[in-house]
Structures are given as structure tokens and as C-alpha cells.
A and B are shown apart, each in its own frame.
Chain A
Amino acid sequence: MSAPIQSSSTSSDLFKSTINEYLDNLPEAVHSQLYRSPETCLAIFRLLPSLAKFYIMTLLFQETAIPYADLNRWIKPQKATGHHRNANKIYQNESIKRLKALNLLKEIRKKVKHPTTGKLTTIVFVQLNPIFRQSFRDALTGFRDGIPRDQSEKIAETIEEAEAESEKTLETSSVSSSSGPSLENLFATKFKITVGFLDSYCLAKWENILHFMVGSKIKHYPSIGVLTLLRYSGLMELPSDRRHRQSVDADEDNFVVDDHYIDGERGPPSGEELKSLLITKNGFQFLLQDINSQIWTLLLQYLKMSEKLMMNPVDVLNFIFMLGSLELGEGYPIKVLSDTQLIMLEDLVDYGLIFYPKSENSEDTKGRIFYPTRLATSLTSESTKFKTASTVLNEQISNTDSNQGKIIIETNFKIYCYTTSPLQIAILNLFVHLKIRFANMVTGIVTRESVRGALINGITADQIITYLESHAHPGMVKKAEEKYAKKMEFETSIGNSYTADQIKYEVLPPTVVDQIKLWQLELDRIQTFKGYLYKDFANDFEFEKLLSYGEEIGVIVWRDKIHRKFFVTSDGNAQLIEYANRILRKSASRSVTPST
């Protein structure tokens, strides 16, 4: 009842919707191929809404198809109160839609004889995608012998082998201290890969990229692959790009990097050239996301780029999803990877997702081992609180209760942030006027100038707010929850359900949120919408009818009742015209053509 509602738009949603969109749009054949891998099934399963997961679980061990109506029977009926529709029902429809989009749920129409009347009626039955069902069952129960040995199983097998090997090395290292150092032994002692090492390794890599983006001085530039991807994804641009873009198109929202480098029309820019990359508006937005979404943003760009490079998307996706299911701190031999995946491996090393130590005996390439880092293993995890790079580090160092959120913001616009990470300070510096830096904390003030600076850089007010929300100190979150519960209880107690629905869950002081939004509005004195102006109505009836319909579907931007005019968004226009035609047909005598 009083379940606190999470901040309305976390960046994890952003990521989820993008990856889901990508998956949804894959053709069915690719889906079937994907579902052959249990790891991928698991990862996709985790991306689904809870109810969809529940449906899958109910169908998983069911041998026969069940009537579609049975799915409805699990859902609690909810009284539709006024204009609110049944939220449970909406949720159910969403879940089922997702399942169908992913080709997980198959509908079968069967003619069934009614037991008493003998009439033939068509009943819709549902069944899980058989390939998915098999793979997912295997994932849960352990792989069965009967199925064709595919690649993922090989991995599992080789993991076993690798484990046995590592055990052996352990044994030998413990026993053979007198028998002289063998090569294996040397490897084991020299590259004793600990989780701590991997963490610091991946963080160093990743933060290096971010530092490069913020423009701090760094010793080692990220590799060309990374730079190309950054440029390709529009997060950064060359000074020449910027000039080019500005001359061609003033519309900065439309952000297309021409990919002629990839197509090979022009020679790719040299490494030196790429080092002069400048951050773009999208890049700033990217910085404000949490680390997991950042990685996914890049990986999705990578997927798109790989398609252009004629890499097999199934291989690429499988590899990404497989990474999520690997164990942190364990080594895996590369021989199980396909050629595509070997290419990917190199790229992922650059992002810090994988640690791939250079082996001493170079000819034994097949025996080499790669280590997924925390960035990789947490890819498919989606806990509500994402870890920023610095918190992962802190967790690692102190091993105490991790506080994901570090930022406290007061109603007087003062900001306190417990952090030692120069990166986080640099990010804060984008929109906060920082004042004092202590050993483990910085303080600052959100001012009109600082926020304006950020807004001019292309960061939106919503992004600032989301960033602050997702990094809020647990104390603030707790306080907000209490406040929310209290208000909720009060409103429900006096039976004011409408206002109860309106109560927002506010982590940040509303004054600050509103002010930041106001500062943004200052910049947007003029807002432009593309759309259609409806005017010159013949009579009030038509005007009212169309206007009320438009308002109902939420496409009206502006209205003027005195002059009988209103403005409709471009998306809504078609719908409105269709509606207009319908009433016109109904009242055939009148004729109005909406002018644009």
C-alpha cells in the first residue's frame, strides 16, 4: 500500500528500454538462434517484467499448452476507480506484449468441442517458445545430455577443465615449491588474479575513458577503438566535425555522425587526431548516467557498429550476455570463443570489461585465459542502486556497508558530497559551484550560473535532477520515504484518493528541483513544436468535439477558445483527422477540412 515509489526516471530504465527495443526488433530467426544459449535466455529472462517472469515460470514445466484465459486468472481484479483504469490489467498486458515481442510466448488456436453443446469454438492456447523453454530449463536444472552440444555448453565444459587446471596449478604450487619453478607455477604466482586487482584494473580503465571525456589531463589515452566508438556514438566529436555540423545544420538535436570513416570513404582519423576529441551534449548526458547504463550505451553502439562491420549479431549478443553470467575472479580460456568473439574480446579489453593478460608463451594462444571484471559480470544485474565507479572502489577498499549515494542537497541549495573520486568531483563541477574540498567530501552550492553553464553545455535540467536523485545519500532517501508514507497515509485517511495519487516521492527538496527547472525555462523562452494549427471551424460543436478528443488523447499543445483555434502535435494529427472524418461522416451535412 505505502510502497515507496522509486524516483520516476532512473537511468536504468533508460537502458532497459533501449536494450529491450533492440531485442524486440530482432527478427524471429535471430531470436531462435539466440535462445539456443542458456546464458542468453537467462539474461533476457532477467530483463522482463516480474509478471512476465512469473508467467514463464508457470509455463516452463508445463508440457502442454494452456488456455490463454488461464493467464488472466492469476491477476487480482482491481476496482476501476473513476478515470483510472485497472493498473494490474495494464501491467499484465504490458508483460504479455513483451513476451510476444520477444517471440517467447506462442499462441495456438485450437478448435475445441464444447462438452455439452458440442459446438466447435476456437480457444487460444499459449505455449512457451520451445527452444527457449529447453534452454532455460537447462539453465535451471543443469544441461541435459540429449540436446546437441552447442557452443555455450562447450564453454561450460571448458570451464570445468579450466577449473581442474587451476586446481592443478594450485596443487603444484603448494607442493612443488622444492621441485623448481615450472612455467605454470610462475604464471600462478606472477599473475595471481584477485578480485581486488580486477576491480582496480577495470576502474582504472573505465575512469580513464571518462576522464578523457571530461577533459582532465591523463597519462594514457584510451585506445583508438574506444575513441572511434566514442566518436561514432556521438558522445564526442572532432573539432572538424563540429565545424562541419555547425555549417551544415543548425539543428543540434539531430545528431548524426556521418559514418564515412567506417564505410571507408575517407581514411579514418589518426590516433593523434582522435585525441583532440571534444565532448558533445550527448557526452555530457552520458557522464551523468550511472556506470552500468554507460557501459550499455557503449555496448549498444558497439552492436550497431558491429552490424556495419558485418559481425554476427547473435555472436555478439551471446558474448555480451555470457559475460554477465561469468564468475568474477575466475579465468576462462579463450578457445571456446568464435572468431567474431575473439575480435570483440580485444575491444572489450579496451573498455575494461575484460582483463586479458599477455601470456608468456605466445604460441599457445588457445590456452590463454581471460578474466571478466566486475563491469562485465554486473552487466545483466539490475539492482535498483547502481554502483558508481567510486563506490565499487570504496566497497573494495573498506568492505564496509556500501553507501551508493553520497550526495546531500539542502533546501538552501548547498550540496555536500562524500567522495574522493576526482571523476565524481569533475562531474559535479559540471553543474555545481564547488567551494571547499575536504579529505573525503566536497561542498558546493547550486547556483544559477553553475546550472546555466551546464544547460548551455547541453545538459538538461532533468538529467541534473536524475543524477542527484540517483546519487542521493541513503539518509535523504529514507527521509523521503518517510515523508511520502506520511503524506500518503494522511491523504488516504481523509479519503482523498485523488490527491493521494498526486503525491510525489521527492528525494530532493522540491524547491531545488523547481528552481533548476525554472533556470532551464529561462533559457527556453521560446519552445518550438512541430505540428498543425486547426482554425476556422464552422461551428462550436465541431471545435469542442475535436478539442475534447484531442485533449483526451493528449495531443493538444495550445488552444484558444475565443478564436476557435488549437494546435496539435505532428504525431497526433493523423489520429485527430481520422476522428474528424468520422464525426463528419456521422453528421454528414457539415464539412470542415482541418487546415494546417
Chain B
Amino acid sequence: MQSDVDEDDIVNTSHRTRTKVSFEDDDDYNEQDVGDKGSDISPPLLGEKRTTSESEDSVSVGQDSVSSRTKRRHLKGPDSDKVGIDDSQLPPEQLKGSSGGYSWEDEYRRSWDIVQEDESGSLETIVSGLVESQKKQYLKNVTPFQRGIIRALVLVLDFSKVMREKDLRPNRASMMISYSIDFVNEFFDQNPISQLSIVIMKNGLAQIVSEVSGNPHDHIEALKKLRRMEPEGDPSLQNALEMSRGLLLHVASHCTREVLIIFGALFTSDPGNIHNTVKQLIAEKISVRVIGLTARVAVCDELCSLTNHGDLKSSYNVILNEHHFRDLFMDAVTPLAVAKSESRNKHGFTLVKMGFPQRISEENPSLCACHSKLVHGGYICPKCKSKVCVLPTVCPCCDLMLILSTHLARSYHHLFPLLLFVEVRISHSYPSTRCYGCQVGFPKALDISQKNNTNKKEYQTSSRYRCTSCGKDFCIDCDVFIHEVLHNCPGCESNSRKK
């Protein structure tokens, strides 16, 4: 039922956001040709390309829903403990069309109808506006919540035979694995002092791919080995959850316990009652997130809403396309905000003992304690003086958490997020002519008194985004870059006066 909904949606929604050529498929080029030129399209070409424009739609829908998703998250505070209304029966927000009904009941809007020339016959302003509105979608919540920085996460991958499906190319399993590798990299990049374990569901069983560890290389190696295996049999959610429970059992209390499931199948073949397992998960404060590859499944609905205080929207999602899959995956990188109710229950916060080892370099290689490999140099545990080759890790000898101060510094931006820039309103003149970050020239102020059509106004922007604390203006590219990668405002940092 739900899956039908998704698919109809894919076909029929207006594609408002599509502006750039995406090279998903050779055929997209054609579509772009038509869309770009607007005025001089020859009829035969149009008819020919109809089919491809539909495939294009799926892309735009994905991005639409991403934006609505992120917006929703924006609204949600840390203490939204109330159990969400069971809205799975109602038309979900993102399926609503402009007329109030389902979006597929709306009139079909072609991408080239939106793009209209302005008075001077140029498409530039409107197109740049469209591009910016697309880029703007990174926006996330920047309230400095207390987040569970030290995490323990079990990544559960569906490796049953449904993963051989080729709806994601080359097939579901290999795409999942390559995204998982990206995820692991990103996860440890952003959460250097967290731990991860990987489990697969195969032949009705759960198998450990990599044990709980803080070393990204181990996981990536394990994932790469997984590539050579064929997905087989049925998945078992219960087995996977039980195994995750076991893996997370010994994790220290200061860690957040999470399970992330990539679920391709529409069923689960379990040995017992999965509801009992869910109850145990709740008792052990393990939160489960699921990314579905096909459609919503009732048991996952229940699982996620019960283990996430009813917050279904950020914990259970079904992918719309490859791009969306990746986005959902990467969302799990950001540490979860700690709910107030949770922190209230505790007696206080924990203090973790950690070692800061020294790096040494040697002329002759010696064995490392962690992998028993011959390596030149390494890090010496300050407590037991054994040598390890990669950080961060737990000393294999004395169980001390070994870390570099730089690793800690990596997590700081979660704790002190950079304030969002505000969009400068359209006006006759602006104080800045160039982006402070990259020195790209801003478009000149437009005469807004001109009579514009409605479509255009919607997308017209000043292209300037201002940091509220230093007052410098940035372009959209820098805005995105600064908030996603840099986490520093170049304007504020360049001012030598102390705040």
C-alpha cells in the first residue's frame, strides 16, 4: 500500500527544483537540451523525450522530500518527547500537492514552464535563483544541543537475496556496500571517539562482519571483503537485533547505543517473537533507525517509533532514489541529540579516562600490538607502553582509550555549531559586491519595481547570505561549504579583535 504511494508520487509530482543537468543516464542529456533552450524546441524532440523527463522527476521528488525532511528536523527540538501521531494512515506531508490533495492530483507542471525569460530576455536570474534554492537545502538544526558524542553503533546490512535486485545499480548490495564504506569514513571523521560494528542479515541468520571497534580501517576492510559474497536467503530482523543487543551490552554507559538497519526486504523470518526483542531494546535504551530500500514495513514502523520515543520521521525512512539513499545514510553520521528526559534520568554525566599517546618513528620496523604487523613507527600507549599503529583505538593491552587531541577537536563543531547565515533581502543596493569567502562577484542589485511574473519572484534572490555576527556576506557556495565542511566563519575569524 505504502509502496504504491511512493511510486505514484515519483511519476507525477511537478519537478520544481530540477535545473542542473544530472548525468544519471545518457538520456538525461536530451532532456536537458529541451529544458535549457525553452523557446526553440522542435515538437518531435519533445515527444521523444517524454519518458526520460519522467525519470528525471524522481530526482526532483527526492530533493523535495529531503528539504521537507530537513525542515521538519529544524522544527523539532531536543525535547520533543511526545509520541508522534500515527500518521502512516494519513497522506504524509511530502505527498501533499499545492491544491491540498495528493500531489499526483495536481496539474502536471513541466520544468520548462517554470523557467521564463525576464524582460531582457535572459534566463540567468531565474536559473541562478533556482540553483540557489536547491543548494540551500543543506540547512540543519544549529541549536547547540547536548549530543551523544561518544557513540556505539551497530550497522546492520540486509544481505538477503532481495539485495540482488538491480533497481539500484549495479545492484542493491554493492551500492549499499559502497555507501557503507563512505558512511564508515564519514562516521569516524565526525565521531572519532565512537565505536562501530557491522552485522549482516543472511540466510535467516545474523553474522558479524566486524567487531565493535573504533578503527575505521578494520570496518572498511571487512566491507570490502563483503563485496565478494553473494546475498543469499532471507533476512531476520530479530536475529540481527538480538545480535546487536549482545554487541552493545558491554558498551560503557556514557555511550549512546544505536542500531542502524539497511533493510531491503519487505518481510522478516524470525525464530521467535520480535516484539519481545523490541521490548528488551527499549529497556536497554538502544535506539534503532531503519532505512528501507523498498517500502515501509509495519514491523519497522513499530520498532523505530518505540525505540525513538515515537519519533518516526527521523528514524524510519524509505529511499526514493540513489541520491536520497545516500542522504539518509549520511544523516546517521550526525550524533543524536540527547533528549532531556534521558539526561534527567541519569545521575550525571560521565568522565572518560583516555590516553594521549606519543608518536614515534623507528629506523627498523617492529610489531604493533593491535595487528601484529611490522610497521615503522607508531604510537606508544602512555600506560602500558605497547605500540599501536593506528589511532583512535582501545589499547589492546590495558584497555585504555587511546586518542589524539586532534581527534577530540574534530567533534567540537557538533558542540559549537556555526550560526546559520541569513539571506539578505532583495533590495536596490547592497553594501557588498563580492563574497567574503571566495571573492566571487555578486549579481548586481536588480530593480525590483519592475513588473515580474509570479514564478520569477518566487526564485529571485539577492544571492547574499550574511553572517549575523560579523556582518560579512557570502555566496551560496561558500555558505554551504562553510557550514558543511569548514565550520568556521571566515569573516569572524579574520577579525583580530577579540569577541
Does B362 count as interface, using CB distance less than 8 angstroms? no
- Set A439, A479, A489, A490: member contacting B23, Cβ < 8 A: A479
Return A45 CB to nearest CB of chain B, in Å. 30
Does A476 count as interface, using CB distance less than 8 angstroms? yes
Contacts of B21 in A (CB 8 A): 475
Most buried by A among B27, B33, B40: B33
Q: Given the complex of chains A and B, what is the CA–CA distance between A509 and B23 in angstroms?
A: 14
Given contacts A493-B227, A494-B228, contact A440 B30 (CB under 8 A): no
Contacts of B42 in A (CB 8 A): 436, 438
Return A342 CB to nearest CB of chain B, in Å. 43
Interface residues of B in 395-410 (CB under 8 A from A): none
Return B135 CB to nearest CB of chain A, in Å. 16
Q: Given the complex of chains A and B, what is the CA–CA distance between A478 and B20 in angstroms?
A: 14
- Set B30, B40, B227: member contacting A416, Cβ < 8 A: B30
Interface contact A494-B178, CB-CB below 8 Å? no
Contacts of A438 in B (CB 8 A): 33, 37, 40, 42
Does A486 count as interface, using CB distance less than 8 angstroms? yes
Return B365 CB to nearest CB of chain A, in Å. 15
Q: Total contacts A to B, CB within 8 angstroms?
A: 36
Contacts of B45 in A (CB 8 A): 436
Interface contact A408-B227, CB-CB below 8 Å? no
Return A500 CB to nearest CB of chain B, in Å. 13
Does A246 count as interface, using CB distance less than 8 angstroms? no
Return A340 CB to nearest CB of chain B, in Å. 45
Does A441 count as interface, using CB distance less than 8 angstroms? yes
Interface residues of B in 290-318 (CB under 8 A from A): none
A411's nearest neighbour on chain B, judged by CB, is B26
Return B432 CB to nearest CB of chain A, in Å. 21
Contacts of A490 in B (CB 8 A): 227
- Set B29, B37, B224, B228: member contacting A408, Cβ < 8 A: B29
Q: Given the complex of chains A and B, what is the CA–CA distance between A184 and B221 in angstroms?
A: 75
Does A410 count as interface, using CB distance less than 8 angstroms? yes
Interface residues of B in 1-60 (CB under 8 A from A): 21, 23, 26-27, 29-30, 33, 37, 40, 42, 45
Contacts of A489 in B (CB 8 A): 178
A479-514 to B contact mask, C-beta < 8 Å, 1/0: 100000010011001100000000000000100000
Interface contact A416-B23, CB-CB below 8 Å? no
Return B467 CB to nearest CB of chain A, in Å. 26
Contacts of B27 in A (CB 8 A): 410
Interface contact A416-B33, CB-CB below 8 Å? yes
Interface contact A478-B23, CB-CB below 8 Å? yes
Q: Given the complex of chains A and B, what is the CA–CA distance between A438 and B44 in angstroms?
A: 13
Q: Given the complex of chains A and B, what is the CA–CA distance between A479 and B37 in angstroms?
A: 23
A410's nearest neighbour on chain B, judged by CB, is B26
Return A481 CB to nearest CB of chain B, in Å. 11
Contacts of A473 in B (CB 8 A): 29
Given contacts A476-B23, A478-B23, A494-B224, contact A416 B37 (CB under 8 A): no
B331-356 to A contact mask, C-beta < 8 Å, 1/0: 00000000000000000000000000
Interface contact B33-A410, CB-CB below 8 Å? no
Contacts of A475 in B (CB 8 A): 21, 23, 29
Return A6 CB to nearest CB of chain B, in Å. 19
Contacts of A439 in B (CB 8 A): 37, 40
B44's nearest neighbour on chain A, judged by CB, is A436
29 contacts between A and B (CB under 8 A): A408-B29, A410-B26, A410-B27, A411-B26, A416-B29, A416-B30, A416-B33, A436-B42, A436-B45, A438-B33, A438-B37, A438-B40, A439-B37, A441-B33, A441-B37, A473-B29, A475-B21, A475-B29, A476-B23, A478-B23, A479-B23, A486-B178, A489-B178, A490-B227, A493-B224, A493-B227, A494-B224, A494-B227, A494-B228
Top 7 A-B pairs, shortest CB-CB distance? A493-B224, A410-B26, A475-B23, A479-B23, A408-B29, A439-B40, A494-B228
Question: Taking beta carbons and an 8 Å cutoff, which residues of B are in contact with A?
Answer: 21, 23, 26-27, 29-30, 33, 37, 40, 42, 45, 178, 224, 227-228
Besides A416-B29, A493-B227, 20 new A-B residue pairs in contact (Cβ under 8 A), listed by A number = A410-B27, A410-B29, A411-B26, A436-B42, A436-B45, A438-B33, A438-B37, A438-B40, A441-B33, A441-B37, A473-B29, A475-B23, A475-B29, A476-B23, A478-B23, A479-B23, A490-B227, A493-B224, A494-B227, A509-B26
